[in-house]
Amino acid sequence: MNSVIDNKDINDEREPGIEPKKFVLWLMLVSSTMLFAAFTSAVIVRRGDGNWTVFELPQMFLYSSIIIAISSLFMQWALSSAKKDKITELKISLSITFILGVIFILAQIEGWSQMVEQSVYFSFANPSGSFVYVITGVHLAHIVVGLGYLLVIFIKTLQHKIHKENLRGIAMCTTFWHFIGIVWIYLYVFLFLNR
């Protein structure tokens, strides 16, 4: 009898723990936050050393900020649709989020083209421009990962694996997508003020 009670106590202690997949997601988010914090700290330190070229941040980066903010609204709509088992709305909102993510990438590439038109290149002679390329490039890699995640969730939706009884995948995808949206808006404001 004691062994049954002991086993029950052990199982009860394990239940409140975080799911491994969620733990990995949050570990990635914390790591990414630290990475971008390191980049922005490096900008502040390097800017204080002089040899810093001030240039106009491309207008396209502002447009991409608006695009990523709108995409977050559609991602939230996708999660809400999944919770209500509105599968058609879920497919539509995931599709729109994905399309906006692709448009965001194209806007970033256009932003880089606008930097080149201003003769701002990735070089050690102009660390201010180099920082913008590195920071936006690393963020763009996060967007690509997010698009891959969206694609997986969309496929699972088509397979009827995403619904109100199984929300973990889409909830985690929503968290990641909101995260990269918030990070971009922070980066845009930071780069606008510290270019």
Pick the CATH number of 21-194 from 1.10.540.10, 1.10.3720.10, 3.30.450.20, 1.20.120.80: 1.20.120.80
Q: What does the pLDDT look like over 142-191, one tens digit per residue?
A: 999 999 999 999 999 999 999 999 999 999 999 999 999 999 999 999 99
SS3 18: coil
pTM for this structure?
0.87
The reported pLDDT for the residue numbered 165 is 93
Spans of all domains in the chain: 21-194
The reported pLDDT for the residue numbered 6 is 46
Exposed e or buried b for every residue in 119-136, given b needs 16+ CB within 10 A? ebebeeebbbbbbbbebb
Q: Which two tokens stand for residue 61?
A: 């980066």
SS3 163: strand
